Amino acid sequence: MKKELCQVVSNQSIADSIYELTLSGSMVEEMKPGQFVHVKVSSGLDPMLRRPISIASIHKEKSEFTIIYRKQGRGTSLLAEKKPGEFVDILGPLGNGFPVEEASVGSTAILVGGGIGVPPLYELAKQLVKKGIKVITILGFQNESAVFYESKFAEFSETYIATVDGSYGTKGFVTDVLSTKNIGGDILYSCGPTPMLRAIEASSYAPKVYLSLEERMGCGIGACFACVCHVKDDPDGHAYKKVCSDGPVFRAGEVAI
Amino acid sequence: MRSLSIELPGLSLKNPIMPASGCFGFGKEYSQLFDLNILGSIMVKATTPEPRFGNPTPRVAETPGGMLNAIGLQNPGLEKVVTEELPWLEKFNLPIIANVAGSTEEDYVRVAERISKAPNVHALELNISCPNVKTGGIAFGTDPEMAKDLTKKVKAVSDVPVYVKLSPNVTDIVKIAKAVEAGGADGLTMINTLVGMRIDLHSAQPILSNRTGGLSGAAIKPVALRMIYEVSQQVDIPIIGMGGIQSAEDVIEFFYAGASAVAVGTQNFVDPFVCPTIIQELPALLEKLGYDHISDCIGRSWKKNEQPAYHRA
Ligand SMILES: Cc1cc2nc3c(=O)[nH]c(=O)nc-3n(C[C@H](O)[C@H](O)[C@H](O)COP(=O)(O)OP(=O)(O)OC[C@H]3O[C@@H](n4cnc5c(N)ncnc54)[C@H](O)[C@@H]3O)c2cc1C
Ligand SMILES: Cc1cc2nc3c(=O)[nH]c(=O)nc-3n(C[C@H](O)[C@H](O)[C@H](O)COP(=O)(O)O)c2cc1C
Ligand code: FES
């Protein structure tokens, strides 16, 4: 973990309200798939807090990494204005990341992403494929204009798309694709909205399941107790996990979601 | 750095800069970023007799120039703090200030008695001002008689000096300050957060699941300064000031208002290096302003007849 001024290499819109930002900095050396960075989008008070954004791809040879974000509120809108050559104050990499080592060579991994939960799965897919693991990707979006990275995933994995309104791919949710296409595998990794993660946790598409969670954050490093969740075995007790530093990735059944 | 050393009850501070309670955990996370030895002290997270989970999430919401939090005093409990968290901090040359919280008088007394015996705890910060718990906490901090009583009881069992953390959510903060001074407080820390709210545009419901939360950050700086200015003129015990500090200039402003040391809270989340940066920048700022020592700044906004050091030379 370090705090670094990373230089903008490129920052462009890749789908409706979705931006892809590539930055260069030495913190790339430490990055793993599923980790996130805490981004200070403005040097002043508006807005004040950092924004957590997942690492979408890592290019160690160029000391570059890419994040993909949805332009939503004040913070991400300002981020969308960053021009190549400008510097962005980044704290990272943070969190634990997806356990690539849990997938064994020759096995099949299912990657399930929803909306802005798709980005961290991309670097994960790259690393799994490189290790000799078969990857099946199912991505869910609101509608056709929100779809991104389909062809990138399709380069090295069997890729399915679901849209809520049916304007592209299968109509419905990622879980509809999983069920109707009868998809199964040895390990499943997922990131996306909480209802989607709950649905995945409740079914049994693979014996091993890892989920990446989202929570509002303060520090992002484990000091402020803003992002805490209960553990599954003790849902009303005082045992806890911090999404920022114990997560954001948890084994299904580890925490109460 | 001789120009920064400050002596307070129980605390020999190499510099008057420390992270505020709840914004730095028990130091472990930030120790991955810098050497904690450079700090004056650390005000560690509130400790209650038993472990506490705190409030449901969302626990934080951003506001212009600040944030609301409703953590709800989540902490690992007295036993773990005394046997794991505080011993871990012993490797640093730091006088620790332990933040003591609870729901009842007995809770405070129990925590204070035990935690004040920890070898590296040099002072207690009695948290009678947390706005995010249903019982205790702020109730003690808004009633002068209760505040005085509790201070007395904690003083009676504590092995180290007791600082009382004041709530800004009162009509007359001077009254509470005088009451805890009469109860035997060795110092004051102020201010805790101001109760506030944010409401989500789409759901029409408060963003925080606790509905209300404590406002902190730059937005509360003027309130903190005004309160320290008022209280420091009415009591004879030192004040550790906090509320929106972001820079060395802010630190001097707090000293001018009447603080003898300061704590930095929310800004640690924005810039984890804020404390080291302030400590590094202070000596040059003091020199620029013409002071030999930071203590020359204490209460300068109301000690009208004193000339700055450079006028005396
Ligand atoms: C571990 C993690 C990884 C994430 N990865 C991505 C990603 O790869 N791409 C992406 O587009 N988004 C991601 N998010 C969500 C992203 O943090 C929010 O979209 C962003 O903070 C919104 O900021 P804003 O100022 O535009 O929105 P506003 O709504 O104005 O933000 C107000 C406040 O709420 C917080 N907030 C709002 N939405 C969220 C949210 N969903 N999660 C956490 N905090 C939120 C903001 O940080 C800010 O403090 C991730 C969140 C987490 C916790
Ligand atoms: C996330 C968070 C947690 C806090 N927890 C505590 C606490 O446990 N005990 C306490 O006395 N004050 C707590 N505070 C209050 C701070 O110590 C401080 O008084 C206040 O935030 C004002 O300073 P700031 O504006 O620099 O943050 C907390 C503040 C924040 C933002
Ligand atoms: S965001 Fe501070 S502990 Fe997770």
- Bridge partner residues of A139 (DSSP): A113, A161
Task: Please list the ranges in chain A whose pLDDT falls under 70.
Answer: none
Tell me phi and psi for residue B253, to 5 degrees: -60, -40
pLDDT digits (tens, 9 = 90+) for A85-138: 999 999 999 999 999 999 999 999 999 999 999 999 999 999 999 999 999 999
Contacts of B16 (CB under 8 A, 6+ apart): B4, B6, B40, B251, B255, B260, B261, B262, B294
DSSP H or E stretch at residue B312 = helix B309-312
- The pLDDT, as a whole number, for residue B307 is 54
Annotated binding residue B15:
no
What number does the ligand 3 atom closest to the CA of A242 have?
A: 4
Cβ contact, residue pair A228, B271, below 8 Å: no
Nearest CA in chain B to A51: B270
What number does the ligand 3 atom closest to the CA of A220 have?
A: 1
Which has the closest alpha carbon to B15: B42, B34, B49, B33?
B42
> What angle (nearest 5°) sits at the alpha carbon of residue B281, between those of residues B275 and B282?
90
DSSP H or E stretch at residue B110 = helix B105-115
Residues of B with Cβ-Cβ distance to A223 under 8 angstroms: 23-25, 29-30, 268
| CB contact at 8 A, A55 and A68 | no
Report the alpha-carbon distance of residue A243 to residue A257 in Å, rounded: 11
- Bridge partner residues of A133 (DSSP): none
Tell me phi and psi for residue A157, to 5 degrees: -145, 155
Determine the distance separating the centroid of ligand 1 and the alpha carbon of A52, expressed in angstroms: 6
Residue B77, chain A, CB below 8 Å: the answer is yes
Report the alpha-carbon distance of residue B227 to residue B247 in Å, rounded: 19
- The pLDDT, as a whole number, for residue B306 is 61
Residue-level length of chain A: 257
Buried b (16+ CB within 10 A) or exposed e, B16-34: bbbbbbbbbbbbbbbbeee
Determine the distance separating the centroid of ligand 1 and the alpha carbon of A51, expressed in angstroms: 6
**Amino acid type, B111:** V
- The pLDDT, as a whole number, for residue A72 is 93
Which has the closest alpha carbon to B112: B159, B168, B165?
B159
Q: Which of A42, A96, A214, A219 to mutate to test the pocket of ligand 1 (most atoms within 8 A of CB)?
A: A214
| CB contact at 8 A, B256 and B228 | no
For B109-115, the CB contacts below 8 A with 24+ separation are: B109/B153, B109/B154, B109/B157, B110/B49, B110/B78, B111/B47, B111/B48, B111/B49, B111/B78, B112/B154, B112/B157, B112/B158, B112/B162, B113/B157, B113/B158, B114/B78, B114/B82, B115/B47, B115/B78, B115/B81, B115/B82, B115/B86
Cβ contact, residue pair B268, A45, below 8 Å: no
Determine the distance separating the centroid of ligand 1 and the alpha carbon of A50, expressed in angstroms: 9
Q: What is the 3-state secondary structure (H, E, C) of chain A?
A: CEEEEEEEEEEEEEECCEEEEEEECHHHHHCCCCCEEEEECCCCCCCCCCEEEECCEEEHHHCEEEEEEECCCHHHHHHCCCCCCCEEEEEEEECCCCCHHHCCCCCEEEEEEEHHHCHHHHHHHHHHHHCCCEEEEEEEECCHHHCCCHHHHHCCCEEEEEECCCCCCEECCHHHHHHHCCCCCCEEEEECCHHHHHHHHHCCCCCEEEEECCCCCCCCCCCCCCCEEEECCCCCCCCEEECCCCCCEEECCCECC
Angle between helices B274-289 and B248-257 (to 10 degrees): 60
**Amino acid type, B67:** M
Does the predicted interface ipTM exceed a cut of 0.90? Answer: yes
Contacts of B132 (CB under 8 A, 6+ apart): B55, B69, B70, B71, B72, B73, B210, B212, B213, B214
DSSP 8-state assignment for residue B9? T
Q: Which of B28, B29, B198 to mutate to test the interface with A (most CBs of A within 10 A)?
A: B29
Residues of B with Cβ-Cβ distance to A50 under 8 angstroms: 269-270
Tokens of B237: 């015990």
User: Alpha carbon A93 to chain centroid distance?
Assistant: 13
- The pLDDT, as a whole number, for residue B309 is 47
- The pLDDT, as a whole number, for residue B311 is 42
Peptide bond into B16 cis (omega under 30): no
What number does the ligand 2 atom closest to the CA of A224 have?
A: 1
Report the alpha-carbon distance of residue A15 to residue A22 in Å, rounded: 16
Q: Which of A27, A41, A45, A48 to mutate to test the interface with B (most CBs of B within 10 A)?
A: A48
Report the alpha-carbon distance of residue A64 to residue A62 in Å, rounded: 5
Tokens of A229: 């969740």
- The pLDDT, as a whole number, for residue B313 is 37
Report the alpha-carbon distance of residue B21 to residue A249 in Å, rounded: 28
Report the alpha-carbon distance of residue A227 to residue A229 in Å, rounded: 7
- A221: distance to nearest CA of chain B, Å? 6
Residue A219, chain B, CB below 8 Å: the answer is yes
pLDDT digits (tens, 9 = 90+) for B203-241: 999 999 999 999 999 999 999 999 999 999 999 999 999
Other Cβ atoms closer than 10 A to A79: 23
Determine the distance separating the centroid of ligand 2 and the alpha carbon of A73, expressed in angstroms: 26
Only one residue has tokens 């924005």, namely: B270
pTM of the model: 0.96
Residues of A with Cβ-Cβ distance to B71 under 8 angstroms: 224-226
Report the alpha-carbon distance of residue A127 to residue A142 in Å, rounded: 27
Cβ contact, residue pair B61, A221, below 8 Å: no
Task: Please list the ranges in chain B whose pLDDT falls under 70.
Answer: 1, 133-137, 305-313
- B11: distance to nearest CA of chain A, Å? 24
- The pLDDT, as a whole number, for residue B129 is 82
B130 is catalytic: yes
Contacts of A101 (CB under 8 A, 6+ apart): none
Only one residue has tokens 């990341």, namely: A97
Report the alpha-carbon distance of residue B111 to residue B255 in Å, rounded: 31
